[in-house]
Chains A and B, each alone.
Chain A
Amino acid sequence: MKWDESILRVASCWALAAIFAVGLLRLGVKLREFQVEDAADYRGAASRQSARRVRVPGLRGRILDRRGETLAESRLAACLVCDPAQFQRRRYEQTCAAIGDAARALGQALGRETVPSSNTVARHIHQLRAMPLVVWRGLDERELAVFAEHEADFPGFAVEEEEVRAYPCGPLAAQLLGYVGRDSGAGAAADGEKFHFYLPELRGRAGLETYYDSYLRGVPGERELTVDANSYTIRARAVEEPQRGLDLRLALDVRLQRVAEAQLAGLAGACVALDPRTGDVLAFASAPGYDPNDFVPRLDPARYRRLADDPAKPLLNRASGGAYAPGSTFKPLTALAGLSVGYPPGATYPCDGVYARSGLRLRCASRWGHGELDLRHALMKSCNPYFCNLATEIGTNALLRTARAFGLGAKTGLDLGVDMAGVVPDADWKARQYHERWFFGDLVQMSIGQGMLLVSPLQMARVAGALGTGYLVTPRLRADAPTERQKLPFREADLRVVREGMRMVVAGDGVSRGTGWRGGLDVPVPVSGKTGTAEVGAGARRRKNTWFVAYAPSDAPRIAVAMVVENGESGGGTAAPKVAAVLKRFFADEAEGGASS
Chain B
Amino acid sequence: MKFLRRFDGLLFAAMLALVAVGTVTIYSAGHARAAAFFHGVWRSNLATAGFGLVLYFALAAFDYRKYLDFLSVPAYALSLVCLVAVLLVGEEVYGGKRWLWFFQPSEISKLGVITLLASLLGGRWFAWLDGFRGFLLTGALIGVPALLILAEPDLGTTLTLVPATVVILFVAGVWRKGLVTLLAVGGLAAVAVLGAVYEAEKPGVLPERRAQILRYVPLKPHQVKRVRVFLFPEEDLRGAGWNLRQAKLSIGSGGYAGKGIGKGELNHLKYLPPSISMNDFIFCVYAEETGFVGSVVLLTLFGLLLVSGCRVAAVATDERGRLLALGFSTLVFAHVYVNIAMSIGLVPITGLPLPFVSSGRTFLLTVMCGLGLIQSVSLHRE
Query: Real complex partners, A and B?
Result: yes
Interface residues of A (CB under 8 A from B): 5, 9-10, 12-14, 16-17, 20-21, 23-24, 26-28, 30-32, 34-36, 38-43, 45-47, 49-50, 88, 226-230, 234
The smallest C-beta distance from B287 to any residue of chain A, in angstroms, reads 7
B292's contact among A10, A24, A31, A228, by CB below 8 Å, is which? A31
Q: Which of A41, A46, A49, A228 has the most CB of B within 10 A?
A: A46
The smallest C-beta distance from A41 to any residue of chain B, in angstroms, reads 7
- In the complex formed, the residue of A with least CB distance to B176 is A8
Binding-face segment, B202-210, B306-314, B364-372 = B306-314
The smallest C-beta distance from B362 to any residue of chain A, in angstroms, reads 24
The smallest C-beta distance from B300 to any residue of chain A, in angstroms, reads 8
B337, A229: Cβ atoms under 8 Å? Answer: no
In Å, the complex CA distance between A27 and B341 comes to: 7
With A14-B314, A17-B311, A39-B252 as contacts: A34 and B344 at CB distance below 8 Å? yes
With A50-B269, A234-B269 as contacts: A12 and B170 at CB distance below 8 Å? yes
B329's contact among A16, A32, A45, by CB below 8 Å, is which? A16
Apart from A24-B299, A38-B252, what are 10 other A-B pairs with CB-CB below 8 Å?
Answer: A9-B171, A13-B326, A17-B306, A27-B341, A34-B252, A36-B255, A36-B256, A43-B253, A50-B265, A230-B270
A39, B249: Cβ atoms under 8 Å? Answer: no
Cβ of B52 within 8 Å of any chain A Cβ, yes or no, is no
Q: Which of A9, A13, A21 has the most CB of B within 10 A?
A: A13
Q: Specify which chain A residues have a CB less than 8 angstroms from the CB of B171 in the assembled complex.
A: 9, 12-13
The smallest C-beta distance from B248 to any residue of chain A, in angstroms, reads 7
Cβ of B273 within 8 Å of any chain A Cβ, yes or no, is yes
Cβ of B302 within 8 Å of any chain A Cβ, yes or no, is yes
Q: Specify which chain B residues have a CB less than 8 angstroms from the CB of A35 in the assembled complex.
A: 251-252, 254-256, 287, 291-292, 295
Q: Which of A12, A24, A230, A234 has the most CB of B within 10 A?
A: A24
Q: Specify which chain A residues have a CB less than 8 angstroms from the CB of B310 in the assembled complex.
A: 13-14, 16-17, 20
Cβ of B278 within 8 Å of any chain A Cβ, yes or no, is no
The smallest C-beta distance from B150 to any residue of chain A, in angstroms, reads 25
B271, A228: Cβ atoms under 8 Å? Answer: yes
Cβ of B18 within 8 Å of any chain A Cβ, yes or no, is no
In Å, the complex CA distance between A41 and B248 comes to: 11
Interface residues of B (CB under 8 A from A): 34, 167, 170-171, 173, 246, 248-256, 265-266, 268-271, 273, 287, 291-292, 295-296, 299, 302-303, 306-307, 310-311, 313-314, 319, 322, 325-326, 329-330, 333, 336-337, 340-341, 344, 346
A24's contact among B268, B271, B303, by CB below 8 Å, is which? B303
The smallest C-beta distance from B43 to any residue of chain A, in angstroms, reads 25
| Closest CB pairs A-B (n = 7) | A42-B252, A17-B310, A35-B292, A13-B314, A228-B269, A46-B253, A39-B255
Q: Specify which chain B residues have a CB less than 8 angstroms from the CB of A24 in the assembled complex.
A: 299, 302-303, 306, 336-337
- In the complex formed, the residue of B with least CB distance to A90 is B34
A16's contact among B34, B319, B330, B340, by CB below 8 Å, is which? B330
Q: Specify which chain B residues have a CB less than 8 angstroms from the CB of A229 in the assembled complex.
A: 246, 269-271, 273
Q: Specify which chain A residues have a CB less than 8 angstroms from the CB of B306 in the assembled complex.
A: 17, 20-21, 24
Q: Specify which chain A residues have a CB less than 8 angstroms from the CB of B337 in the assembled complex.
A: 23-24, 27
The smallest C-beta distance from A225 to any residue of chain B, in angstroms, reads 11
In Å, the complex CA distance between A20 and B314 comes to: 15
The smallest C-beta distance from B8 to any residue of chain A, in angstroms, reads 14
In Å, the complex CA distance between A485 and B165 comes to: 102
A20, B307: Cβ atoms under 8 Å? Answer: yes
In Å, the complex CA distance between A12 and B325 comes to: 12
The smallest C-beta distance from B230 to any residue of chain A, in angstroms, reads 14
Q: Specify which chain B residues have a CB less than 8 angstroms from the CB of A5 in the assembled complex.
A: 173
B249, A45: Cβ atoms under 8 Å? Answer: yes
Can you offer 15 A-B residue contacts whose CB atoms are under 8 A?
A: A12-B326, A20-B306, A20-B333, A21-B303, A23-B337, A34-B248, A35-B256, A35-B291, A36-B292, A38-B252, A39-B253, A46-B252, A46-B253, A49-B271, A50-B265
A16, B299: Cβ atoms under 8 Å? Answer: no
Q: Specify which chain A residues have a CB less than 8 angstroms from the CB of B313 in the assembled complex.
A: 13, 16
In Å, the complex CA distance between A27 and B347 comes to: 11
In Å, the complex CA distance between A14 and B254 comes to: 34
Q: Specify which chain B residues have a CB less than 8 angstroms from the CB of A14 in the assembled complex.
A: 310, 314
B303's contact among A20, A41, A42, by CB below 8 Å, is which? A20
Q: Specify which chain B residues have a CB less than 8 angstroms from the CB of A23 in the assembled complex.
A: 333, 337
In Å, the complex CA distance between A108 and B5 comes to: 74
B322's contact among A13, A39, A47, A50, by CB below 8 Å, is which? A13
Q: Specify which chain B residues have a CB less than 8 angstroms from the CB of A40 in the assembled complex.
A: 255
The smallest C-beta distance from A196 to any residue of chain B, in angstroms, reads 16
With A20-B303, A229-B273 as contacts: A42 and B326 at CB distance below 8 Å? no
In Å, the complex CA distance between A88 and B287 comes to: 28
Q: Specify which chain A residues have a CB less than 8 angstroms from the CB of B299 in the assembled complex.
A: 24, 27-28, 31
- In the complex formed, the residue of B with least CB distance to A17 is B310
In Å, the complex CA distance between A229 and B322 comes to: 48
In Å, the complex CA distance between A227 and B310 comes to: 47
With A5-B173, A21-B303, A36-B292 as contacts: A49 and B270 at CB distance below 8 Å? no
Q: Specify which chain B residues have a CB less than 8 angstroms from the CB of A50 in the assembled complex.
A: 265-266, 269, 271
In Å, the complex CA distance between A32 and B292 comes to: 7
The smallest C-beta distance from A189 to any residue of chain B, in angstroms, reads 20
In Å, the complex CA distance between A129 and B326 comes to: 54
B336, A49: Cβ atoms under 8 Å? Answer: no
In Å, the complex CA distance between A13 and B330 comes to: 11
A227, B269: Cβ atoms under 8 Å? Answer: yes
In Å, the complex CA distance between A23 and B310 comes to: 15
In Å, the complex CA distance between A28 and B297 comes to: 10
Q: Specify which chain A residues have a CB less than 8 angstroms from the CB of B271 in the assembled complex.
A: 46, 49-50, 228-229
- In the complex formed, the residue of B with least CB distance to A235 is B269
In Å, the complex CA distance between A43 and B251 comes to: 9
- In the complex formed, the residue of B with least CB distance to A23 is B337
Q: Specify which chain A residues have a CB less than 8 angstroms from the CB of B287 in the assembled complex.
A: 31, 35
Q: Specify which chain B residues have a CB less than 8 angstroms from the CB of A28 in the assembled complex.
A: 295-296, 299
A42, B249: Cβ atoms under 8 Å? Answer: yes
In Å, the complex CA distance between A5 and B130 comes to: 14
Q: Specify which chain A residues have a CB less than 8 angstroms from the CB of B346 in the assembled complex.
A: 26-27, 30
The smallest C-beta distance from A262 to any residue of chain B, in angstroms, reads 63
Q: Specify which chain A residues have a CB less than 8 angstroms from the CB of B296 in the assembled complex.
A: 28, 31
Q: Specify which chain B residues have a CB less than 8 angstroms from the CB of A45 in the assembled complex.
A: 249, 252-253
Q: Specify which chain B residues have a CB less than 8 angstroms from the CB of A12 in the assembled complex.
A: 170-171, 326
With A21-B303, A36-B292, A50-B271 as contacts: A31 and B251 at CB distance below 8 Å? yes
In Å, the complex CA distance between A226 and B251 comes to: 19
- In the complex formed, the residue of A with least CB distance to B270 is A229
Q: Specify which chain A residues have a CB less than 8 angstroms from the CB of B246 in the assembled complex.
A: 229
Q: Which of B251, B252, B255, B291 has the most CB of A within 10 A?
A: B252
In Å, the complex CA distance between A28 and B303 comes to: 11
- In the complex formed, the residue of A with least CB distance to B334 is A23
In Å, the complex CA distance between A132 and B307 comes to: 55
Q: Specify which chain B residues have a CB less than 8 angstroms from the CB of A10 in the assembled complex.
A: 314
In Å, the complex CA distance between A38 and B266 comes to: 17
In Å, the complex CA distance between A164 and B375 comes to: 76
B307, A21: Cβ atoms under 8 Å? Answer: yes
In Å, the complex CA distance between A278 and B261 comes to: 71
- In the complex formed, the residue of A with least CB distance to B269 is A228
In Å, the complex CA distance between A209 and B264 comes to: 49
The smallest C-beta distance from B37 to any residue of chain A, in angstroms, reads 14
In Å, the complex CA distance between A12 and B319 comes to: 13
In Å, the complex CA distance between A27 and B329 comes to: 17
In Å, the complex CA distance between A180 and B299 comes to: 64
The smallest C-beta distance from A228 to any residue of chain B, in angstroms, reads 4
A46, B326: Cβ atoms under 8 Å? Answer: no
Q: Specify which chain A residues have a CB less than 8 angstroms from the CB of B340 in the assembled complex.
A: 27, 31
Q: Which of B34, B287, B310 has the most CB of A within 10 A?
A: B310
In Å, the complex CA distance between A77 and B287 comes to: 47
The smallest C-beta distance from B114 to any residue of chain A, in angstroms, reads 14
In Å, the complex CA distance between A207 and B249 comes to: 53
Q: Specify which chain A residues have a CB less than 8 angstroms from the CB of B314 in the assembled complex.
A: 10, 13-14, 17
The smallest C-beta distance from A52 to any residue of chain B, in angstroms, reads 12
In Å, the complex CA distance between A30 and B299 comes to: 12
